[in-house]
Amino acid sequence: MSVLDELTNLELKILPILINNEKNEKGINIDNIIFQSGLKDIEVMRAVQWLSNKNLVTLNEKIDEFILLDVNGKEYVKTGLPEIRILNLIKDSEKSVSQLISEGISMEEINISIGQLKKNLSITLSKNDNNELVLFITENGKKFLQKESLEQKFLKKKFPLNINELLPEDKFAFDSLKKRKQIISVEIKKTITIFITENCKKISSDLSSVSNKIEKLTPEMIKSGSYKDKEFRSFDISSGVPKYNYGKKHFVNDAIDYVKKIFLEMGFTEMKGSMVQTSMWDLDSLFVPQDHPAREMQDTFYIKDPSEGKLQKDYISKLKKVHENGLFGLNKNEIDSRGWGGKFSEEIAKKNLLRTHTTVISAQTLAQLKDSDFPAKFFSVDKVYRNESLDQKHLFEFHQVEGIVIDPNANFTNLLGYLKEFFKKMGYDDVRIRPAHFPYTEPSAEVEVYIKETNTWIELGGSGVFRPEVVIPLLGKDIPVLAWGLGLERIIVPYFGFRDIRLLYNNDFKVLRHSKKWMM
């Protein structure tokens, strides 16, 4: 394939302009090409770069400094420099500073002008009765007014001005104005001059043949069939294209949907509930002792107002019994049961907090079940909160995945069965459990999954069978409730290889736009 075939549309558009300019020893600059081609600057830049890569042009970069008018400069072009305006105002009679201000000259301008005017002996100063400066014009001043100053002349020039093309007297005015506030500014500008190479000259005669080939297929060509007599120019298909920004689901939601699908396949019903809960539901119902360290301010977010919620009357009296003295009297055959002892406080139970786990939703779901509902399976994938500082490893809100099975015939062995099934669908070949402790389950177990790639077992969540102290006040009898849960973010972070857990929720578009799909 010849170089000609690889030329893109953009290159083809600007090549003739470059060739026309062949004779010009100074080359041609980008602005000129933009002007002649009618293309956008970015398009011309890209095309020139490609041509340079193909060794058809050489680029000559030159850096120039240009002088521009700044805010005050633009103003003074219209109204004149403040020192000249002041001289005009005091030409006939002296004026005090406050009089000048009332003529619309700012204090700042007055201060600068006094400096300037004193330097070239155009004014003298004295103080009036109010201890205020008064300005008098001198003979020098009157002469000065008659001819135009270098600075004024300078401001009348056409900007931007190339700094290298300044005349000596312009240079003086430039230095003086540069020191003053926001009259002029200097901008650095890169100009690129383009020269065509010998290679390019060689192919210039064949260019017209390329131009005869079809560049873009148009509806007219299709309708008229004019494409039939022509060839299509071939494209350089390996050249890169700009990124396309399309709509996309957040990757965490991708993972959530994936987990939900697994539960739905296993016949589980989704449960939902409030994010702000009373301590009664979040902690007391799950038999967390009222003096448990997790309840303290540093672990749990409490609500300022309303700091207290309402208690469910019948239920709270049962909870009080269970916490203080155990199950005796709440269920037949419960003789050997003692609670946490101490006094159960309704004040503590009323406290509103941001739920610390979705297990609170499990408790509320159980509270609404009837005998005819068993066996039943529920799940949730939802937000929970911990009062932590945000850092590389910690979030103060994250997602908990939770499954519960309420089945009169279920047992610990079945819990293991559900775990195996669930985690297999989650993509983990093997699962095992170790002893653990949660206040609301007995037995309690930590769940570990096997990672083939590293030949290791990693801890992924907790599980257990709800304690009778949790179940009986909710259901009125002891029916086995199997439960397990895990933190969703712990699975997502390694999948995307994030080193910092905050990357999940800082919504960096560079990450969001180009993240891979959840393919587990």
Partner 1 sequence: MPTITINKKRLLKNLNRKISDEELKEKISMLGTDLEKIEDNEIIVEIFPNRPDYLSEQMFSKALSSFMGVSEGYTEYSSKKLPSDYKVIIDSKVKSVRPYTVCAVVKNLSFDDDLIKEIIQTQEKLHVTFCRNRKKAAIGIYPMENITFPIKFTADSPEKIKFIPLESKIEMNGNEIVENHPTGKQYAHLMQGLEKFSYFIDSNNNILSIPPIINSEITGRVTNKTKDVFIECSGFDIYTLKKVLNIIVCSLAEMGGNVYSIPVIYPKNYSNSELDCDNSNNNSDETEIITPDFKCQEMKIDSEFVSNKLGRHFSKKEISGCLSKMGIGYDEKKEIAFIPPYRADILHKVDLVEDIAIAYGFFEFKPEIPQVATTGKEDLIEIFKKKIRDLMIGFGLIEVKNYNIVSYENQTSKLLFTDEESKDIVVLKNSLTVEYDSLRNNLLSSAMITLKNNKNSDYPQNFFEIGECFSLNENCAENTKLLLDKGVISNSFRFDSKVYDFPKLGVTLCSKESDFTKIKQILDGFFEGLGMNYNLERCSNKSSYIPGRAGDIFSKNKHLGSLGEIHPQVINNFDIEFPISYLELDLNSVYLSFIEK
Footprint on residues 184-243 left by partner 1 (CB under 8 A): 243
Sort strands 133-137 and 123-127 into parallel, antiparallel or unpaired.
antiparallel
Q: Are 466 and 440 in contact (CB under 8 A)?
A: yes
| CA–CA gap between residue 379 and residue 403 (Å, rounded) | 4
Nearer to partner 1, 67 or 316 (CB): 316
* 362: contact with partner 1 by CB under 8 A: no
Nearer to partner 1, 72 or 441 (CB): 441
* 39: contact with partner 1 by CB under 8 A: no
> What would the two tokens of residue 22 be?
């062949």
Footprint on residues 424-463 left by partner 1 (CB under 8 A): 432-437, 442-445
Nearer to partner 1, 271 or 286 (CB): 271
Positive or negative torsion for Cα 307, 313, 319, 322: positive
| CA–CA gap between residue 510 and residue 245 (Å, rounded) | 10
Dihedrals phi, psi of 352, to nearest 5 degrees? -80, 140
Which residue do the tokens 């689901």 mark?
249
Nearer to partner 1, 23 or 509 (CB): 509
Footprint on residues 491-520 left by partner 1 (CB under 8 A): 504-510, 512-513
* 348: contact with partner 1 by CB under 8 A: no
* 291: contact with partner 1 by CB under 8 A: yes
> What would the two tokens of residue 420 be?
């195996």
Tell me which of 140, 269, 392, 456 binds partner 1, using CB under 8 A: 269
Footprint on residues 370-389 left by partner 1 (CB under 8 A): 375-377, 383, 385, 387-389
Binding mask 297-316 for partner 1 (x = CB under 8 A): xx--xxxxxxx-xxxx----
> What would the two tokens of residue 114 be?
């006094």
* 341: contact with partner 1 by CB under 8 A: yes
Tell me which of 27, 73, 82, 468 binds partner 1, using CB under 8 A: 468
Tell me which of 38, 219, 240, 247 binds partner 1, using CB under 8 A: 247
Tell me which of 336, 453, 497, 499 binds partner 1, using CB under 8 A: 336
Q: Residue 266: CB partners within 8 Å, gap ≥ 6?
A: 377, 418, 421, 422, 425
* 404: contact with partner 1 by CB under 8 A: no
Tell me which of 37, 49, 149, 414 binds partner 1, using CB under 8 A: 414
* 328: contact with partner 1 by CB under 8 A: no
Footprint on residues 469-488 left by partner 1 (CB under 8 A): 469, 480
| CA–CA gap between residue 448 and residue 439 (Å, rounded) | 20
* 94: contact with partner 1 by CB under 8 A: no
Tell me which of 2, 146, 238, 368 binds partner 1, using CB under 8 A: 368
Beta partners for 328? 331
Tell me which of 36, 160, 421, 498 binds partner 1, using CB under 8 A: 421
Q: How far is the CB of 320 from partner 1 (least distance, A)?
A: 16
Nearer to partner 1, 385 or 428 (CB): 385
| CA–CA gap between residue 407 and residue 377 (Å, rounded) | 8
Q: How far is the CB of 485 from partner 1 (least distance, A)?
A: 17
Tell me which of 397, 425, 487, 493 binds partner 1, using CB under 8 A: 397
* 253: contact with partner 1 by CB under 8 A: yes
> What would the two tokens of residue 492 be?
């997502």
> What would the two tokens of residue 281 be?
């539901």
Q: Residue 400: CB partners within 8 Å, gap ≥ 6?
A: 357, 358, 380, 381, 382, 383, 384, 485, 486, 487, 488
* Secondary structure (3-state) at 149: coil
Tell which phi-psi region holds residue 481, choosing left (phi > 0), alpha (psi between -120 and 50) or beta: beta
Nearer to partner 1, 193 or 290 (CB): 290
* 337: contact with partner 1 by CB under 8 A: yes
| CA–CA gap between residue 64 and residue 41 (Å, rounded) | 19
Tell me which of 84, 194, 401, 419 binds partner 1, using CB under 8 A: 419
* 278: contact with partner 1 by CB under 8 A: yes
| CA–CA gap between residue 316 and residue 367 (Å, rounded) | 12
Q: Are 324 and 340 in contact (CB under 8 A)?
A: yes
